[in-house]
Amino acid sequence: MAKPALKLVDDATDLESERLDLVFSALSDPVRRAILEQLDGKDLLVSEIAEPFDISLQAVSKHIQVLVRAGLVTQQRSGRISRCRLDAGPIFGAALWLNRYSKYWQGQFDTLALYLDELARRPDGQDTGGE
Amino acid sequence: MAKPALKLVDDATDLESERLDLVFSALSDPVRRAILEQLDGKDLLVSEIAEPFDISLQAVSKHIQVLVRAGLVTQQRSGRISRCRLDAGPIFGAALWLNRYSKYWQGQFDTLALYLDELARRPDGQDTGGE
DNA sequence: TTGATAATCAACCATATGATTGAATGTCAG
DNA sequence: CTGACATTCAATCATATGGTTGATTATCAA
């Protein structure tokens, strides 16, 4: 009856399930994933975010709105500019849901643990670029 | 430069990005997430999977096709029945992508590690608040 | 053969999504 | 005030999605 201690893990509740709907749906678009990667470590304006993409600024603005609705990005408007900041909180909930299947990875699980360790140890989040 | 050792982490490649598109999109629907939870630990027929849901069998069949396209479920037809099996492999790739933001969780990271430990230690994958 | 069963196919519908272009809003600089 | 700029709003379009019902395919049992 009472929810488990880690309520994020239990997606039986409508609220958490709807949040997962929004988060996974937001993550299902490569443009939005790229936006999140851009925001990893630094806040950016809408126009700065849009710069690398070949689509219109309006399209990027709509993508950002989707990320905002999912709780993955917050926007702080000051004057005519709108600074966008990553909020990784909801990603944690998604990761928890995924990790209920970690038992299937097994061998690769060590790889993940190692990778997490590596990431945690690194000052910035940059990948090595291999070798 | 060359790709990193863990190519799953680098979604710059079109192939891996499209796979993530399919996986995250598949996970964005509560029915499909529930199906994956049903398949956690046991293979099921389409009709068995459909039983708990209020929607038509055909709708469930289409959901399963989406999961198959994403690589999350495999189907083995034998006679008129079609046995569905979970393939958690693609979830690993998705988890790796998410975990690039683990540095933001920090405090909660211990919680995740603890949870993973808990999951790994549990004989079956059942959550406390399960079905 | 007949008939029930398992699953998919097909057509259809309502709504959502991702993109576009053009207009509007609001703000800063001269 | 004028105008450039940052962003959003609005209308539109093509396509995708999630659901329905009805038909079809294929298998098993009597």
**pLDDT (tens digit per residue) in A14-28:** 888 999 999 999 999
Q: Does A107 touch chain B (CB under 8 A)?
A: no
Whether A99 and B112 lie within 8 Å, measured CB to CB = yes
List strands edge to edge, sheet with B81-86: B44-45, B81-86, B73-78
Domain covering A14-99, topology: Arc Repressor Mutant, subunit A (1.10.10)
- Give the alpha-carbon dihedral of B39, B43, B45, B46, to 10 degrees: 30
A129 touches strand C (CB under 7 A): no
pLDDT tens, position by position, B86-113: 999 999 999 999 988 988 876 655 555 5
pLDDT tens, position by position, B51-93: 999 999 999 999 999 999 999 999 999 999 999 999 999 999 9
pLDDT tens, position by position, B40-50: 999 999 999 99
CA gap A45, A34 in Å, rounded: 15
The list of chain A residues with pLDDT below 50 reads 1-11, 119, 121-131
Residue B8 is classified by DSSP as: G
pLDDT of res. B14: 80
List the domain boundaries for chain B: 11-121
For residues B5-16, give the mean pLDDT.
55
Residue of B nearest to A21 (CA): B28
Q: Which of A92, A97, A105 sits opposite B105 (nearest CB)?
A: A92
Whether B95 and A95 lie within 8 Å, measured CB to CB = yes
Residues of A in contact with B103 (CB under 8 A): 119-120, 125
- Name the residue among A82, A100, A71 with its Cα closest to residue A6: A100
Q: Does B85 touch chain A (CB under 8 A)?
A: no
CATH architecture for segment(s) B11-121: Orthogonal Bundle (1.10)
